[in-house]
Amino acid sequence: MGRRTLGISIAVCLSIFAARASQLPLTAKDVGLMVRMGYSSGVMAQELSTRHFVDTLDSTKEADLIKAGVTPELLTALKNGTYSVPPEEIARARGQIAAEAKRRALEAEQSRKFNTLYQYQLAKERSVAQVQAAGASGIYNFVKGDLVRPLNGSLVHADDEALSHKKLIAFYFSAHWCAPCRKFTPELVEYYNRVKDQHPEFEVIFFSLDKSESEMEAYMRETNMPWPAIDYQKLKEKEALKKSAGDGIPSLVLVDQTGKLLSSTYAGAQYLGPAKVLADLDAIFAGNSPPKIAQSQSP
């Protein structure tokens, strides 16, 4: 949605609010706000005659109205009940005001959620664009400065320079709360430790789906993950990496240093399992090519 369209939508919402509010009796807060907005005493009297006043004035509200600029004559009329809602209508009027307040709160929450989703989509699009614009060293440039690795019971920044020489990178999407992940992770650790010396061009990078940074750190420590991970605080900035990861975990996505997709746990919506990617890696290490997939894609 463009900024112009978003602005139009907001304007429409405001007009709807105004139309609804114009049917409701006025409170002391409404009167004070309208006076501050420039409504004259004559106009306020007309509004109050039509919509009536459904509030009681205590010392605090009276002081607020005086501060807002309400004239003594109008204040006296409000205190004397000149514009008050008839007694038999008070309960219904207050119910209408409560219902309107509830509607506004709901619509404000929906607007907040929409704005959050909109900002997330913009960030995701920027993330994808950064990968695509990075060129021959796409993956290295995209994650540079945002990698950590376990050391002496804590996470420290990983050596970025080491990644610049990697030609095959497997992003591992996993989480401690996922039972299949906890089963597969030791297999991946064993595989990595077995091939890393013979194939220094290969690296695994952990993309955590844990619910907190402490859970991610504990997961890496408990399973002795020997590879680096995306800094937990930077994960939202790296959402583009999930493009080929599918909806389920554990998931492996193998790319080259430019971000070109070589193998994935998923074939479209079909879950093939991370072992499929390890088999493709073995084929690559043996000098063969893995089964053809959409080579033009990026993570």
Q: What are phi and psi of 23, to 5 degrees?
A: -90, -5
Query: What is the sign of the dihedral through the CA atoms of 220, 221, 224 and 228?
Result: positive
**What would the two tokens of residue 216 be?**
């991610």
In tens, the pLDDT along 178-223 reads 999 999 999 999 999 999 999 999 999 999 999 999 999 999 999 9
Domains of the chain: 3-114 (no CATH), 136-285 (3.40.30.10)
Helix (H, G, I), strand (E, B) or coil at 19: helix
In tens, the pLDDT along 10-45 reads 444 444 344 444 468 888 888 988 888 888 888 888
| Rg, Å, the chain Cα set | 31
d(Cα 237, Cα 230) in Å, to the nearest integer? 10
Query: What is the sign of the dihedral through the CA atoms of 162, 217, 240 and 157?
Result: negative
Q: Residue with structure tokens 């796409």?
A: 138
Burial of 62 (0-12, 13-18, 19+ CB in 10 A): middle
Q: Residue with structure tokens 């005659």?
A: 49
pLDDT band at 249 (very low <50, low <70, confident <90, very high): very high
